[in-house]
Amino acid sequence: MEKIHATTVLGVLHNGTVALGADGQATMGNTVAKSNVRKVRTLMGGKILVGFAGSTADAFTLLEKFEEKLNGYGGNMKRAAIELAKDWRTDRYLRKLEAMMIVASKEELLVISGTGDVLEPENGIAAIGSGGNFALSAALALHKHAPQLTAEEMVREGLSIAADLCIYTNHNLVLEKIS
């Protein structure tokens, strides 16, 4: 059985607001399995945003583990991310999970991977998934040449450009923000 995979998730931290968005497409091989998947979630009463790409079941498992870490570390997102990355890399079961996550608060934006990485992007812009490089490029250009745009506008436009270019990304967007 083929895994459901491929997506685009984009986060922008700009002018005191963080926005995180994703497309809604899930594929199985070269077939669209579903077009309205919700790949962005809010945690901690709306104070933390999480977006995920990769195998759906794996992503939900990691989302639950991250939420446990957040609760265990009093909502400290960076500490929770580091502890999740440690477990993800060293635990025999978690090590096999195939997904990536972007987590965000109004102060910081992080990318968490199964290789133990917790990355804080230089420009406050992060993207993951099959269309991630398209969305990242678009958002970086908007950030540089149209800084008057809001974080939400940059995410929406970056994802739209990615959807125009990546066959695994659609225009059915879900976007959350924290101001």
Q: Does residue 23 fall inside a structural domain? A: yes
**117-146 per-position pLDDT tens digit:** 999 999 999 999 999 999 999 999 999 999
Residue-wise DSSP of 56-73: HHHHHHHHHHHHHHHHHT
In this structure, of 50-54, 73-77, 145-149, 150-154, the range with the lowest mean pLDDT score is 50-54
| Annotation marks residue 61 as catalytic | no
Instruction: Determine the residue type at 101.
Output: M
Q: What is the pLDDT of residue 54?
A: 86
Higher pLDDT, 96 or 2: 96
Q: Is residue 71 part of a domain?
A: yes
User: Is 58 inside any structural domain?
Assistant: yes
Number of domains in the chain: 1
Spot the catalytic one: 7, 8, 27, 56. Answer: 7
Cβ atoms of 119 and 87 within 8 Å: the answer is no
Q: Is the pLDDT of residue 39 over 80?
A: yes
Angle formed by the axes of helices 56-72 and 77-90, nearest 10°: 130
Give the model's pLDDT for residue 94.
81
Inside any domain, residue 178 = no
The answer to whether position 99 is within a domain reads: yes
Asked whether residue 35 is domain-assigned, the answer is yes
| 26 found inside a domain | yes
DSSP structure class, residue 170 = -
- Full domain range(s) for residue 142: 4-173
Strands 174-178 and 17-22: antiparallel
CATH number at residue 21: 3.60.20.10
Evaluate whether residue 179 is within a structural domain: no
Query: What is the maximum span of the chain, computed from C-alpha positions, in angstroms?
Result: 47
